[in-house]
Amino acid sequence: MEPLSENACFGGSQLVLRHGSRVCACDMTFGLYLPPQAQDGPVPVLWYLSGLTCTHENAMTKAGAQAHAAHLGMALVFPDTSPRGEDVADDDAFDMGKGAGFYVDATEAPWASHYKMRSYVADELPGLLGDFPVDMDRQAITGHSMGGHGALTLAMGSPGRFASVSAFSPICNPSASDWGRKQFAAYLGDGDHAAHDASLLMADRGFDGPVLCDTGTADQFADLLRPETLAQAMAARRQPGAFRMQKGYDHSYFFVQTFIGDHLDFHAEALGL
């Protein structure tokens, strides 16, 4: 593990670290915020998965989450959204390749060599956090856009791991959207992609904890996100939680900043803070 930077932040520390990833077969970089309470012992952790074109840095610098996390005593993990490096396959389109890993484990060439983001977030990166004062028995997860898709599918696909899940403007029904069908076909090939579709997972199994989703009524990508599919699946299943349409808000980090406090409070309650 190579520390790249450490900055004092709201009484705690914002770290950026790099390591050689076994599953992605390249160097990976992630951000880790440790609140001041971590000086006295392990604290609960909230995972934040970012969206298309992002790195670990976007949410770390734009979401405004650290102030709330410092008050609550919660660590934050900001993984990257894809593998990186000169030998990592890429695409000219912004929604494929680097910055667009979609939190799946690719099985098709040329992506399969490096694009193992589901295993990276679900298995490898958690194993590295044991070097820090983080309580891995108390985890929650959130994300924005493609990261909202990742947070919801990882939470429903990992029963018992996360106390709660939330999402900002998630891609809700990727198997029926151009933000999903294109990428799943390339990364995973033909076949059933239901395990990577939050609306289908919600209808099939739901989540064993509370769910909070926020999407703006002025979101410029609403036709690609298909929020109505997840809202309908939650209602049909009577899933504990809330799906909120926030009037006038778009897809930007100004939207995330506005409601990040609500989301951290929601996770804090589930984590017993």
pLDDT in tens, 91-146: 999 999 999 999 999 999 999 999 999 999 999 999 999 999 999 999 999 999 99
Cα 59 vs. chain centroid, distance in angstroms?
Answer: 10
| Every domain of the chain and the residues it spans | 2-270
What's the mean pLDDT when you consider all of the chain? 97
Give the span between the Cα atoms of 109 and 188, in whole angstroms.
9
pLDDT, tens digit, 9 for 90 and up, residues 175-229: 999 999 999 999 999 988 999 999 999 999 999 999 999 999 999 999 999 999 9
Positions marked active-site: 145, 219, 251
What are 28-50's pLDDT values in tens digits? 999 999 999 999 999 999 999 99
Specify the CATH number of the domain 2-270: 3.40.50.1820
Cβ neighbours of residue 22 under 8 Å, at least 6 residues apart? 124
Q: How far apart are CA 226 and CA 169, in angstroms?
A: 10
Q: Report the alpha-carbon distance of residue 217 to residue 76 in Å, rounded.
A: 28
- Residue 83: its pLDDT value, please? 98
As a whole number of angstroms, the distance between CA 116 and CA 251 comes to 26
Q: Can you give the pTM of this predicted structure?
A: 0.97
Q: Is residue 24 scored above 90 in pLDDT?
A: yes
